[in-house]
Chains A and B, each alone.
Chain A
Amino acid sequence: MVGMKKRNTYLWLIVFLLPNFLGFILFIGFPIISSFGLSFTQWDLLGSISFVGFDNYIRMVQDEEFWRAFRNTFLFIFGYLPLVMVFGLACALLLNKQMKLRAFFRASYFLPVITSWVAVSLVWKWLYNPNYGLINYFLSLIGIDGPQWLHDPSTAMIGIILASAWKDIGFVMVLFLGGLQNISPSYYEAGSIDGASKFRMLWSITIPLLGPTTFFVTVISLINSFQVFDQVMIMTEGGPSGSTTVMVQNIYNYAFRYYEMGYASAMSWALFIVIFFFTWLQIKFQDKGAN
């Protein structure tokens, strides 16, 4: 009887789990392992694969192009992260109150998040147009002669950062709104009995109690922003003169333009290590918070 039941369970497992498991092995498990293997080889997809040991990694460390993409990615994060955090939090604080038209405001702040990066990049490319774009027109109204934006190595990254922040503020806002809802109103009641000002309550109640959310949002945004690619590909393709080339773009170029599968895989593992570090940080911190 018990044996029957056991056999039955395995039959049911085949129905329920096997399809997903096969897909998982084929399209996730196997690729992860073989990507690691590939990173120690040289292969152009056509000829034979040759094992090259750590050559790809050694080449990477000495590759000026790799480090430039590394620096550019950090430069992007350095500009992008504070912008989305500050404005995302500000929007969440504004929209957390009861008010007229709240649904409208929320929806409009969230609109860029659901739009594809390709669409957003094309619209912003047009906004940044040095001669007929809207941004330089607005700048001209206050007497500023607008820059060349995406055409100038010194401003192209700024252009990408601003467009990215604009797109993701709504995303960060939504995460913060979730955090704000978890703060018990009793803290504010106690605060107002003590006669604390609104600003004081923001500083001494809201901000500290949002700590875990802030940490979570920071890590998530960091992990996402290391993978920045679509907007760069559409808006500048890494130019002008390499000023906006980022890590994922290097991986894409080496894999799918130059067909250097081994070297591209090695670079993707470098990206993994950076991302893993922040994931690990998050898990460690979350465990602490839970205890």
Chain B
Amino acid sequence: MKANHQAVIRKFLFYLLLVVGAFIMLVPFLWMISTSFKGSGAVMVFPPEFIPNELTFANYQEVVGKFPMMKFLWNSLLVAFLTTIGQIIFSSMAGYAFARMHFKGRDPLFLLYLATMMVPTQVTMIPQFILIREFGWLDSYQGLIIPTMFAVFGTFLMRQAMLSIPRELEEAAFMDGANHLRVFWHVCIPLIKPMIATLGIFTFMQSWNNFLWPLIVVSSNELATLPLGLSLLQGRWSTDWSLMMSGVVISVVPILIVYLFAQKYFIQGMTMSGMKE
């Protein structure tokens, strides 16, 4: 009887810890949402109202009306989408070459690819900027998108995935007279779909959340992505918290939706890369 009692207490404490933890993780989000629906008078109030007495959509209307919020949203979607597509195409094809083709210098070349992964983006960003400037790509979609499509991690991931495919499968296809393109498309790609999804989701999130590269490349509001747009919003209305929080909510919701549907790919991508953003 006493042991049973202890087990109940232990279980209670266990869940209490979990709930307190979840509370700490979720409160900032709830506070963000709550603030975004407050009238300007209800923000600067002490003690704060957790659930606004008066719910208003005015902040959302204002932030969309006075600021090109929808343009930022569109830019973010476009940039993240194209970056992801490019990354998947280029790295899966190169991954195929590195894993399934034989050519002179293959392994040293792949090693060179790997070696560059140790160099942080802060080293490459300055010459990248100069290059983009030479191309006349500053403040353009090309400048925002193209340089970010060649992250070496993608090639690495695709090569590893392609290596896991049994040789017999492609040998049978080659026997039947298939060429590399057919083997790549009909044999390899279907088998590594989960890995492609992982790379895709991960690239999308990285691009969606990227702040530094747009900050460097973009100078006009027209081309800003959401993170950059939010920082501009901050520069403009640094004290209008309800307005800013509604902007933040707009930027968080899309990635949240993707996350809800593809949770496991997010986690896989981060576990394998050791990168968060």
Contacts and interface: CB of A to CB of B under 8 A. Distances in A.
A and B interact physically: yes
Contacts of B96: 16
Nearest to B267: A174
Contacts of B8: none
A274 to B, nearest CB: 10
Chain B residues touching A, majority SS:
helix
Interface in A113-159: 113-120, 122-124, 126-127, 129, 131-132, 134, 137, 140
A175 B45 CA distance: 41
B252 A137 contact: no
Chain A residues touching B, majority SS:
helix
Contacts of A126: 31-32, 35, 241, 244-245
B150 interface: yes
Interface residues of A, number: 87
Contact of A21 (B94, B241, B266): B94
A123 B245 contact: yes
A16 B101 contact: yes
B25 A111 contact: yes
Interface string B91-131: 10110111001110000000011001011111111111111
B120 A134 contact: no
B27 interface: yes
B14 interface: yes
Interface in B161-182: 179-181
Q: Which 4 A-B pairs have the closest CB atoms?
A: A20-B94, A23-B150, A116-B209, A31-B127
16 contacts: A10-B103, A12-B97, A12-B180, A17-B98, A31-B124, A116-B227, A118-B227, A119-B251, A122-B245, A126-B32, A131-B46, A223-B120, A230-B212, A233-B215, A251-B122, A271-B122
Interface of A: 9-10, 12-13, 15-17, 19-21, 23-24, 26-32, 34-35, 38, 45, 91, 94-95, 99, 104-105, 107-120, 122-124, 126-127, 129, 131-132, 134, 137, 140, 166, 168-171, 174-175, 178, 216, 220, 223-224, 226-227, 229-230, 233-234, 248, 251-252, 255-256, 261, 264-265, 268-269, 271-272, 275-276, 279
Given A115-B209, A123-B248, 11 more contacts: A19-B93, A19-B94, A24-B152, A29-B116, A31-B123, A31-B127, A115-B255, A223-B120, A226-B120, A230-B211, A268-B125
